Chain A
Amino acid sequence: MTTSFLAAEPVRAAAGVLQSNAWVLIALPLLGAAVLLLVGRRGNAWGHVLGCATVLAAFGYGLALFASALGDPHPVRDLYLFSWIPVNALQVDFGLRLDPLSLVFVLLITGVGSLIHIYSIGYMAHDQQGRTGGANTERRRFFGYLNLFVAAMLVLVLGNGFVTLYLGWEGVGLASYLLIGFWQRRRTAGAAATKAFVMNRIGDVGLALAIFLLFAKLGTTQYTEVFARADELSSGVLLAITLLLLLGACGKSGQVPLQAWLPDAMEGPTPVSALIHAATMVTAGVYLIARANPLYTLSEGGQLAVTIVGAVTLLVGCVIGCAYDDIKKVLAYSTVSQIGYMILAVGLGPAGYALGIMHLLTHGFFKAGLFLGAGSVMHGMNDEVDMRRYGGLYRYMPITFVTFALGYLALIGFPFLSGYYSKDAIIEAAFGQGSWQGWVFGGAAALGAGLTAFYMTRLVLMTFFGPRRWENLTTADGEKYHPHESPAVMTVPMILLAVGSVGAGAFFTFGERLVGYLTPALGELEEGHAGVLPHVLIPVLTVGLSALGALAAWLFVGRRRVEVARPQRVSPVVRAARADLYGNAINRALVVRPTDGLARGLVTVDSRGVDGAVDGLAGFLGAASHGLRRWQSGFVRSYALSMFTGGVLLVAAMLAVGMP
C-alpha cells in the first residue's frame, strides 16, 4: 500500500473548547440514564422529558462539534482523558478519537436517537404490557435504558482504542438485552433477550480474543499505535485478528452464522427495533471493520472472509424475508440483509469502506423510518403484527402510509432516492472486483436487490392495499380492530426520517461529499479496476432486477386474494425460508445440544465428585470437632495436664531432633 492511501495521522491534542470537552457527549445520556434509573417513582412525571432532552442536547453538541471540525487542518484528533488501566505492561488510556468516521456516527446515533426518543413518548404512553408498575414507571424505565444505550453506543464509536470500544460494545449489548426483554411478563421476550445475549457473547469472545492477540503481539490496544505498527504483524496473525474481529462483527450485526438472534429481538418495543436493531447498534460490526481498515487492508484473506459473510448474509436475509408474515420480522430480515450489503462493501477493502458507511447512514434513515411506520401501524391495529390481518390501511393512516412508502422506495433502490445511490455504489464496487469475485459478489448483490424489491413490495401490498381483511376479524382479546392514525409526536419523527430517506443519498453522493469527508479516517476511495461489466450497465441491471422483483410481488400477492390463515401446503423453498433456513436448528445441533451435554456432565462431576469430596471432608471435620470438644471439659486440672503433655512432647521432640 502506498503512503498516499494511508489515513491521516492523528493529532494528540484538541483544537478548541468543543473538542476538548467532547466527553460531554457521552456524559449527557449517561447522566440521564443514571437519574432515570436511580431516582425512582419521583421521576415518573418528567422522566421522558429528561430522556429526550439529554439526547437532543447531545445531538446539538454533536452538530456543533461537526461544524467546528469542518475546516480543521487536522481532521483526526485523539483526546486523552485519563489513564484507565495502568498495570505494568498493560497501559490503557481512556480517550476519544474525533475524526470524520466517529463524528458521522455521533450524528447518526444522536440524530436518529433523538427522533426515536420523541416517538417513544407517544408509543410508550399507555404501555401496559409490562404491568410491573404503572404506565409512567414503565416509560421512565424505558427511557433510562434508551439513554444508557445511547451513552454506550457513543463510547463505542468515540473510543480511541480497542478496549474502550469493547466497553461500549458490551454496554450496548447490555442495553439491547434489557430492551429486548423490556416486556418482562412475556415469556417470549425473556427468551429472545437471553438468546440475543448468548449469541452476542460468541461474537464478543471473538472481539476479546482479537484484542488479546493485539496486545500480545504489539503490546498496545490504542488505535494510533496499533495501526501505525500493523505491518509488523505476520500475515498469519493478521488473518487471525481480522477473522476474530469479523466474528465479533457477525455477533453484533446479525451476520451468518450468528444471525438468528436479530429477528427474535423484535420482541422488544418497536422504537427499540428501530433505533438499536436497525439503525445503530447492529451496524457496530460495520463500524468495527471500517475502523480496523488498516488491518483489513493488509490482509487479503481477512477481506475475502468478510465479503463472503456479507454476500451469504444478504441473500439469506432476502430469502427468509420473502416467507414471513410478521411485519417486524420481515423488516428484521431486511435489516440482516442490508447489513450484509454493508459488510460486503467494507470487505472490498479501500474500494468499499466509505461506501459501506454511506449505505449504513442512508439505511439508518429509511430502516428507522420503516420500523417507526410499522410501529405506527401496530399502534393503530391493537399491536397486531400479522400482515395477513392487515389490508387497505392506506386510507386510515395516510401519513404513516406516505412516509412508509418513501422508506420502501428508498430501500428497494428506486432511482434518485437514498437507497439507489448507496446500494448501487456497493453493487458497482462488487462488480468492479474483476475475475470470479466480481461475478460472484456482484451477482449476489444484484440478485439481492431483486429479492429485496419482491419482499418489500409484498409487505406494502399486504399492509396498505387490497381488501380490508381485518374487518371481519377480532383480536386475541376479542375486540374489533379500529385502525387510526397515530398522534403527531409519532408522525413528526416519521416525516423527518422520510425526508432523510428521500434526500440523504443524493446529498451524500453529489460532489462525493461523504466519501471525501471520510477520507482522513478511511483513506482514499479506490476506483474499481476494469470491472466485469461496463459501468453504465450496472444501474440499469439493478433497477431492472428491482422492477422485476416488484412486478413479481404484484403478480403473486397484489393480484391474488391473500388468505388470512397461513397456507400450509407450500413449496420446500418456502418451508425452509419459514424455518429461517434452519438457522435455529443448526444452532441447536451445533451449539445448544453439545453445551447442554457438557453442562450436564459437569453437573454430575460437580455433585458426585467435588461436592462429595467437600461434604465428606466437612462431615469428617464436624465429627472430629465434636470428638475433640470433649477435651475442653472446663476442669483446670485437665487443662494443666494437656499443657503438661504438650510441654513434655515438645521438649522430647526438641531433644530428639537436636541429639540424634
Chain B
Amino acid sequence: MGPVQAGAVVLAQQPVEPPPIEYAAIAPVLLMLTAACVGVIVEAFLPRHQRWSVQVGLSLLTLVVAGVALGAYARGAGTGLTTLAGTIAVDTPTLFLWGTLLALGFASILLIADRSVEQGGAFVAESDASSGSSGLGASSGLSASSGPARGATADSSAPSPTMTRATAGVSGMRTEVFPLAMFSLSGMMVFCAANDLLTMFIALEVLSLPLYLLCGLAKRRRLLSQEAAVKYFLLGAFASAFFLYGLALLYGYSGSVKLAAISEATAGSDRSDTLLFAGIGLLVVGLLFKASVGPFHAWTPDVYHGAPTAVTGFMAACTKVAAFGAILRVLQVALEASSWEWHYVLWTVAVLSMLIGVVLGLTQTDIKRMIAYSSIAHAGFLLVGAIALTDRGLSGTLFYLLAYGFTTVAVFGVISLVRTSEGEATHLSGWAGLAKRSPLVAAVFTFLLLALAGIPMTSGFMGKFYVFSAAVTDGMVPLVVIALVASAAAAFFYLRVIVLMYFNEPAADGPTVSVPGAFTTAAITLGVVVTLLLGVLPTLAWNWANVGGFVS
C-alpha cells in the first residue's frame, strides 16, 4: 500500500512504476472473473429464455478453459512466484488448490444447472421475484430467525409444514446463480493464493457475499432457505470482524500485512507478544469459521440444511478447500516461527471439532444435517494435517481436500434425487428401504458414505492415511489416536444410513428416486469415479500434491 500512496504524492516528478504482472500465472483467476462479469451482462441484455443455456455454457466453458490455462502454466512453472506486487503467490500448493477448485466448481455447476430433477431447477423461479418479497419473502425470512418460526431449523424440532410449501408457477430458474457462483469461485481462488492479509480479507468477502445470496435462493422451503441465508450472513459478518480485528493486531505487531513480513517479525522477539498472540487468535477464529471447524461451526448444520442442495454441495466442497488453503498458507508461511504457542491450541480445536461433529452427528435425523456434522468432523481431521508443519502434512491435507470435495459433491447430488411430492426427502425415515426401490442409487450412496467413513478402496481412506501418517511423523500420536477413535465412531452414523437403506422395509408413502438428468448424472459420476480412482490409485493426485511447498 505504502509505495502507491507515496507515488501519488510525487506524481509530478516521477512516473509510477507499475508492478510487473505475471499474466500467465494468474490467467485462471482473470478468466473466472471475466466470465462472472460477462455473466452479469448476459443477465442484463439477453432475453429470458436464452439466459439459462448461455449461462451454463459460459460457466462450464470458462471452467474448462481456466483449467487448460492452469495446466499449460503448471507444465512450465518452477517452484512458484509472487506477483501483483507480492500480493498473490502462485506456487505448487496454489496450483493444486486452483485445480481442485476448478474441478469441484465444474461438478457443482453441473448440479446447479440441473433442471430435470426439480422441474425448472432448484432455484427461485422468475415469477417468484415479486411474490417472494410480499409473501414468503425476505421479511418473513428475517423474522424466522427470532419470531414465531423459532427453532424451525434447530436440531431439536422438525421443520414445520408451512416451511415446505411449494411455490406456484414454474417458469425456469433464476440464472443469476451462475455469475454468483463464478464470483464466489474466483474469490476462493484468490483466497487460497493471497500472500498478504488484506488481499485475503478482500477475497474472503468476495467469496462469502455471493454464497450468502446463493443460500437464500431455494425454490422450495423458501423460509428455511432465507433463514439460512440470513444466519449465514450475520454470523459470517461476525467472523469477518474477528478476522479483521486479528489482521489489525498483527499489523500493529509487525508493521505489515504481508505474510512474509509477519513471519520475519515473529522470528525476532523484541515486540509485544500480546499483540501477536491476540492477533493470531482472532485471525484464526475468522478462518476456522469459514472452514466450519468446531466450536465455530454453529452455522453449518442450519445453512447446509436450508440452502438448495446443489449450493450446499458447492459450499461444502469448495469453501472447505479455499478455507483450508488459506489456513495452510497462514500457518506455514506467516506463523511457523510461533508454532510452539499456537500448536496445542489448534490441537485442542481439532479434537473439539472431531468430537462435536461425531457426537452430534450420531443423533441427527435429517440427512443434510448429518452430512453437515460429518463435515465438521472432517474439518477436525483436516486440521490434524494442517498443524503438522511438514511437507507431508501439507500434501496430505491437499490430497484430503481433493478427495473429500469430490465425495461431498456427489453425496449432495444423490441427496437431491430422493424426493417426495413436497421436494427433497431429507428426513432419514424417507430413506428406509431405498435399496429395494432403486438399488443403483443406494449402491452409489453406500459407496460414497463408505468413502466419508474412510473405508479402504475409497479416496477417503487414502486421505485419512496421508494426513494421519503425516501427523504421526510429526509426533502427534495422541491426536491421531483420538482422530482414529473419532473416525470409528463416525462410521456409525454412515453405516446407520446404509443399514436403513438395505435392511428396512420401505415406507408405503415413501419418497421416490427421480431419474437424474444428464447434468446431475455427470456430476455424480464424476464424484464417484474420482472417489474410486483416488482410492485405488492415489498416486495420481499424490504425486501432484507432493511436489513443493509455499513461497512468499
What residues of chain A have their CB less than 8 Å away from a CB belonging to chain B? 618, 621-622, 624-626, 628-630, 632-640, 642-647, 650-651, 653-655, 657-659
CB–CB A647/B282 < 8 A: yes
CB–CB B146/A643 < 8 A: no
Q: Which residue of B lies closest to A650 (CB)?
A: B281
What are 13 A-B residue pairs whose CB atoms fall within 8 Å in the complex? A634-B152, A634-B302, A635-B150, A636-B146, A640-B238, A643-B285, A646-B295, A647-B285, A650-B285, A655-B274, A657-B341, A658-B338, A659-B274
Contact A650 B349, CB 8 Å, known A633-B154, A634-B153, A635-B150: yes
Q: Which residue of B lies closest to A652 (CB)?
A: B281
Q: Mark B355-399, 1 if CB is under 8 A from A, else 0.
A: 010111111000000000000000000000000000000000000
Q: Mark B220-236, 1 if CB is under 8 A from A, else 0.
A: 00000000001100110
Contact of B345 among A628, A632, A650 (CB under 8 A): A650
Count residues on chain B whose CB falls below 8 Å from chain A CBs. 49
Which 6 A/B pairs are nearest by Cβ-Cβ distance?
Answer: A634-B154, A651-B281, A639-B298, A646-B295, A625-B363, A658-B277
CB–CB B359/A621 < 8 A: yes
B534 is an interface residue with CB less than 8 A from chain A? no
Having A624-B359, A632-B301, A644-B238, one finds 10 other A-B pairs with CB under 8 Å, namely A629-B360, A632-B360, A633-B154, A634-B145, A637-B146, A643-B239, A650-B349, A654-B280, A657-B277, A657-B342
CB–CB B239/A628 < 8 A: no
Nearest Cβ on chain A to B279's Cβ, whole angstroms:
9
Please, how many angstroms separate the alpha-carbon atoms of A629 and B301 in the complex? 11
Contact A640 B235, CB 8 Å, known A622-B362, A625-B359: yes
B273 is an interface residue with CB less than 8 A from chain A? yes
Q: Which residues of A contact B503 (CB under 8 A)?
A: none
Residues of B142-166 whose CB lies within 8 A of A: 145-146, 150-156
Nearest Cβ on chain A to B155's Cβ, whole angstroms:
4
Q: Which residues of B contact A651 (CB under 8 A)?
A: 277-278, 281-282, 285
B289 is an interface residue with CB less than 8 A from chain A? yes
Contact of B151 among A621, A626, A633, A659 (CB under 8 A): A633
CB–CB B302/A654 < 8 A: no
Tell me which of A632, A642, A645, A659 has the highest count of chain B C-beta atoms within 10 A of its own C-beta.
Answer: A632
B98 is an interface residue with CB less than 8 A from chain A? no
Q: Mark B318-348, 1 if CB is under 8 A from A, else 0.
A: 0000000000000000000010011011001
CB–CB A621/B345 < 8 A: no
What residues of chain B have their CB less than 8 Å away from a CB belonging to chain A? 145-146, 150-156, 230-231, 234-235, 238-239, 242, 273-274, 276-278, 280-282, 284-285, 289, 295-296, 298-299, 301-302, 338, 341-342, 344-345, 348-349, 356, 358-363, 489, 492
CB–CB A621/B281 < 8 A: no
Please, how many angstroms separate the alpha-carbon atoms of A306 and B46 in the complex? 92
Contact A628 B154, CB 8 Å, known A622-B362, A640-B235, A647-B281: no
Nearest Cβ on chain B to A631's Cβ, whole angstroms:
8
CB–CB A633/B281 < 8 A: no
Q: Which residues of B contact A640 (CB under 8 A)?
A: 234-235, 238
Please, how many angstroms separate the alpha-carbon atoms of A1 and B284 in the complex? 78
Q: Which residues of A contact B338 (CB under 8 A)?
A: 658
Q: Which residue of A lies closest to B281 (CB)?
A: A651
Nearest Cβ on chain B to A644's Cβ, whole angstroms:
8
Please, how many angstroms separate the alpha-carbon atoms of A359 and B182 in the complex? 82
Contact A658 B341, CB 8 Å, known A625-B359, A643-B289, A647-B281: yes
Please, how many angstroms separate the alpha-carbon atoms of A634 and B231 in the complex? 9
Q: Which residues of B contact A658 (CB under 8 A)?
A: 273, 276-277, 338, 341
CB–CB A621/B489 < 8 A: yes
Q: Which residue of B lies closest to A655 (CB)?
A: B277
Nearest Cβ on chain A to B273's Cβ, whole angstroms:
6
CB–CB B363/A622 < 8 A: yes
Please, how many angstroms separate the alpha-carbon atoms of A359 and B238 in the complex? 91
CB–CB B235/A643 < 8 A: yes
CB–CB B362/A642 < 8 A: no
Q: Which residue of B lies closest to A634 (CB)?
A: B154
CB–CB A635/B146 < 8 A: yes
CB–CB A659/B277 < 8 A: yes
Q: Which residues of A contact B295 (CB under 8 A)?
A: 642-643, 645-646
Nearest Cβ on chain A to B371's Cβ, whole angstroms:
15
